[in-house]
Amino acid sequence: MGFVLPLTSADAAYVATWQSTEQRVKTVCSALGRPITALCDQAHYETAVARLRSNNIVVSPTGEVTFTACGVTTYKAGPWIDDATVNDLTQGAVRATSQSMGQGTKIHSRIMRCMNALSATALHNGLPTSFEKEVMLSSGGHMVGKFWSEVPRCVSNFMDNDHFRMAAHLRLALVVVPPGSLCQIAKKNDVDDKCLAEISDPCIHPHLCKRGPARQRPHRALMVSLKRVLERAGAEVDLERAIPALYRMDTAGKVTEAILDAVVITPGCFSTLPVDVTIRCPHAQRTTNRASITPSVAASEGEKDKQTRYGSSVLPLSLETYGRMGRKSLQSVRQLANQTVAGSIASRFHRGSDFIAMLRSDLERTLLWNIADTTLLSLGHVWRSRGRQG
């Protein structure tokens, strides 16, 4: 059975949504930030504060943001307490008081962070199936989710409609598979040799399919994306390079080579940073009982595997199917970005943090497009559109 999505202007809708969100941010800032700096009337301020308190968030006249006792209990019972403590949410990313009060943006970000934390905890708690909980934990969380909050920077960042819609559906656990669907992913060298495994609801098979395009393409795309972004900032990147120092020999004298996905040489640096990329699925049997209650379980398994094989000299880059990056992988991204920016006189990035954001966003966009592509392929998207039927 073919699978064709109706054509809509998904990218246009995305941009419009982003613009209206930005407008709402300004509105909330003026409603909450300005009264605290005495730029607006007292009644408006008190109404806003009372409404926040009814949502378990307390804002003081001096701009401190905390949870109520009930809010603290709710958040601590949720899955993200290891990602961000209550203190991280209420105090994090605030600079000098004058800055935080300035236009209301700092206090706004603290309030939004607390509101998001409580609403996400309630949403996770209310999801009826483990599958949906796994998707949610694998989609968001600490330092992940750039792609969905950032407008595309250039035309090449735009996804075509089918892929954008599938990526959004996947990330929201909304993919409905036509009954009786069989996986249409073919071998790379034989388009008629299809996988034909049954794709039942929930749609998990495409993420675990063993066929080449399903396994290799997203992995390869991440490597290429990493290379492209780092090279634009002045680094040299070799893909699939052998590192003899990491070869292993067993007791019988058999040598296992170490071919690293990417080896990065940052500008002005005379050492190499080997990187190994892995994509882990939270629905895989190895993690499925834990991935619905603990974030980043699958990505952490990937990082542990890399550590066991290569030790700490290789930077792991372990992402989960829906975009979540492991904690050590985030450190890898920070190290790669900071080291590249620090050594590059030609870099257009003034701060490492700008480059970290861009690198993360590009990796996530690449992964989401490719996971959407694999799912579309599995459902017969390309097979039908190329007229290979029969």
Binding site for Zn ion (CB under 5 A): 183, 185, 195, 197, 209
Would you call 368 helix, strand, or coil by DSSP? helix
Compute the least distance from the CB of residue 290 to Zn ion, in Å: 25
Compute the least distance from the CB of residue 168 to Zn ion, in Å: 22
- Judged by CB, which is closer to Zn ion: 197, or 246? 197
- Judged by CB, which is closer to Zn ion: 40, or 197? 197
Would you call 128 helix, strand, or coil by DSSP? coil
CB 326 within 8 A of CB 294: no
- How many Å apart are CA 116 and CA 50, to the nearest integer? 18
- Judged by CB, which is closer to Zn ion: 197, or 224? 197
Compute the least distance from the CB of residue 188 to Zn ion, in Å: 13
11-15 contacts: CB < 8 A, separation 24 or more?
A: 11/152, 11/158, 11/159, 11/161, 11/164, 14/151, 14/152, 14/164, 15/151, 15/152
Structure token digits, residue 31? 């409603």
- Judged by CB, which is closer to Zn ion: 104, or 213? 213
Compute the least distance from the CB of residue 199 to Zn ion, in Å: 8
- Judged by CB, which is closer to Zn ion: 139, or 181? 181
Compute the least distance from the CB of residue 198 to Zn ion, in Å: 9
Compute the least distance from the CB of residue 138 to Zn ion, in Å: 20
CB 170 within 8 A of CB 332: no
Structure token digits, residue 232? 């634009």
- How many Å apart are CA 340 and CA 325, to the nearest integer? 20
DSSP state, residue 201: T
- Judged by CB, which is closer to Zn ion: 279, or 359? 279
Does residue 202 have a cis peptide bond before it, meaning omega lies within 30 degrees of 0?
Answer: yes
